[in-house]
Amino acid sequence: MKIIMLGAPGAGKGTQAKMIAEKYCIPHISTGDIFRANIKNGTELGKKAKEFMDKGLLVPDELTCDLVVDRIAKDDCKNGFILDGFPRTIPQAEALDAALVKNNEKMDYAIDVDVPDENIVNRMGGRRACLNCGATYHVVFNPTKVEGKCDNCGSDTVLRDDDKPETVQNRLKVYHDQTQPLIEYYNKQNILKSVDGTQSMDKVFSDITAILGE
């Protein structure tokens, strides 16, 4: 089962992707995790990616496509995978399709977690991230056990630059301009499914599993 998660930044698609990966025993592949690992390790790719991410801009296609295609070729993806944060543009989607076609494969589902912009801004302002291990929290919906400290490693949690209101507005504009066209792209392929992302986390998950099957 090969799944793409779509939705605006902050729609909750990352959380859903992790839950789906666990339920169906397939890898959760997040470009955000790949970028953060490179940033933490101080690689050249990480430095380039950080420049774009700190401004709320998308990382250019050429910095992402090869990484993802290499990742889905690994053995643990033979039974499927779930992509979170990729593709973000039509050229990325076309590059992914071309890579899959070479192996006589194709994507099975593109799931759009639909949330209005105003909900996104409120949600992301409450997000907190651990810069050490990458864990994410929310001051209302998913708070840490000890305020300001990561449950996993005990490091400080912070409001990331790309979650600040002015950056979120910019990220949403970029999303509508560059990523939202993917909804029509996958609709034409008859693999698009949409769920109401304003519902509770568990209800969104049950709606998605109803689409994918038990």
Q: Which of 151, 150, 126 lies closest to 139, judged by CA?
A: 126
Catalytic residue among 2, 123, 128, 171: 171
Cα–Cα distance between 171 and 59 in angstroms, integer? 12
197 vs 203: CA distance, rounded Å: 9
Instruction: Answer yes or no: 88 catalytic.
Output: yes
Q: Which two tokens stand for residue 55?
A: 């401004």
Strands, sheet with 28-30, edge to edge from the N-terminal-most edge strand = 28-30, 81-84, 2-6, 109-114, 192-196
Q: Which of 36, 88, 123, 128 is catalytic?
A: 88
Give me 164's structure tokens: 């600040």
Decide if 128 is catalytic: no
**Nearest of 105, 110, 111, 109 to residue 78 by alpha carbon:** 105
Is 127 assigned a catalytic role? Answer: yes
36 is catalytic: no
> Which one of the listed residues 48, 71, 160, 193 is annotated catalytic?
160
The Cα 126–Cα 142 span in angstroms is: 10
**Catalytic residue list contains 71:** no
Q: How many Cβ atoms sit within 10 Å of the Cβ of residue 11?
A: 25
Instruction: Write down the catalytic residue from 13, 36, 123, 128.
Output: 13
Task: Name the residues annotated as catalytic.
Answer: 13, 88, 127, 160, 171
